[in-house]
Amino acid sequence: MMSPHVLTGQNQLHAGARNRHLAAVLRLNRLTLTDFRNYSALTWRPAARVAVLHGPNGSGKTNLLEALSLLVPGRGLRNARNADLPRQPGPGSWAVAARLQTADGELTIGTGCEPGSDRRVFRLDGAAPRTRADIARLVAAVWLTPQMDRLFQEGLSGRRRFLDRLVWALEPGHAREMAAHDAAVHSRNRLLSEGRHDRAWLAGLEDSIARHAVAASAARLGLVTRLNARIEAGAGAFPPARIGLACPIAERLETEPALAVEDWLRAGLAAIRPRDAAAGSSALGAHRTDMLLTDVTTGTPAALASTGQQKALLIGLVLAHARLIAEARGFAPLLLLDEPTVHLDADRRHALFTVLSGLQAQTVITGTDVETFLPLATKAEAFAVRDGQLCRDERFLPPETEAAPVPGPR
């Protein structure tokens, strides 16, 4: 039976005592939403390390995950425009704020937009941070969404964004490198398309592209190397995957010094100016990288695998990435899993729940069918989501209750 206590801005849910098993370094203590998506006002205080959000489609489960994903720099798990985030109808502004326990102590991170502005701002304990890297240093988040089920059937831009999110979580400076690279590529494309073949100007832009492309490719290559080692060390219940790069810049970096690769790239860009002018795009650069994923056990590329196998590979990759962040940065990231059990058989669902029960990362997981998550009833707290409100599901034990092992599939 559901508790009648509803969680809103006027009627806050007091979640009870903190679970002594919560991660000590990065923990979400409170989340506040104001005019965000379908939430007019919400204050949520998660008490358990794993929180299950269940409810019908359109109730706001993914919106809450998206709010959490916006606590780190970037466009969040939907890659949405700021203009799409305010509640409709509403004042046109939106805000997300979180009270977090971090390695630097307890602090508040906030983000949002003012009415009529598409400029998103951050606040760190009420003050503007020097750079967004100051935010990225304190908090990390990784996520899995249903849209990623199509990652290997669609264009390489989605896979590249997925790859770069993995890199950003470990190397916050990677975002600056890619932003500078993409700005230089855009400027070069514009000059070439307008027929303005100023050699000095183009050479300067190509020098910038080369420097930032090599730095970004080196960061991607480092992530791939570390992540493959992490997966090999503990693949666990999910099929071991091998991540790779289809990238001539990264291939050269494996055997040549970075300065030599920069020289090669500068020369290559200069040589293909006529081709790029005709095509309206640059054929060389970090924006041409593709991410590869292979099932090590079967040798099957993810693009040729079944839907369920692809989902299992992605889940294993995301969980390995969360562990890698914990090892490299000293704290586990927020783990946001939107409908992760879709396409998983009973054995793999049980494997996922077992991993989540032992993982140090604070996890929020969503689904439409609460029955799917009942094996987590002694490990997690759960909330029914209805029209921008949360209601505690009392079939899941209070987080202060001693947890029991997750039962296996029947």
- Percent share of the chain, pLDDT over 90: 66
Please check the confidence at residue 22 and state whether its pLDDT lies above 70: no
Instruction: Give the separation between CA 269 and CA 134, rounded to whole angstroms.
Output: 34
Those residues whose C-beta lies under 8 Å from the C-beta of residue 347, and which sit 6 or more positions away, are: 409
Split at pLDDT 50, 70, 90, the class of 399 is low
The band of 24, judged by pLDDT with boundaries at 50, 70 and 90, is very low
Q: What is the pLDDT of residue 408?
A: 42
- The pLDDT value recorded for residue 404 is 38
| Segment 348-385, tens digit of pLDDT | 899 899 988 888 889 999 999 999 999 999 989 999 99
Model confidence at 202, pLDDT cuts 50, 70, 90, reads: very high
Domains of the chain: 1-140+331-410 (3.40.50.300), 158-329 (1.20.1050.90)
Neighbours of 125 (CB within 10 A): 10
Q: Give the global pTM.
A: 0.85
Q: Token digits for 407?
A: 């039962």
Q: Which residues, 6+ apart, have CB-to-CB distance to 23 below 8 Å?
A: 49, 331, 332, 360, 361, 362
Percent of the chain with pLDDT over 70: 90
Q: Which residue has the higher pLDDT, 13 or 145?
A: 145
Mean pLDDT, range 95-107, rounded to an integer: 93
Using one digit for the tens of pLDDT, what is the confidence trace for 27-69?
A: 999 999 999 999 999 999 999 999 999 999 999 999 999 999 9
pLDDT band, very low/low/confident/very high, at 407 (cuts 50, 70, 90): very low
What are the pLDDT digits (tens) for 143-161? 999 999 889 888 889 899 9
Task: Report the chain's mean pLDDT, rounded to a whole number.
Answer: 88
pLDDT tens figures, 163-200: 999 998 888 889 899 999 999 999 999 999 998 888 99
Q: Would you call 95 helix, strand, or coil by DSSP?
A: strand
> Contact 70/39 with Cβ under 8 angstroms?
no
* Distance between CA atoms of residues 194 and 196, nearest Å: 6
More confident residue, 308 or 410: 308
* Tokens 């514009």 belong to residue: 190
CB-based burial label for 142 (10 Å; 0-12, 13-18, 19+): buried
Question: Taking 70 as the threshold, does the pLDDT of residue 11 lie above it?
Answer: no
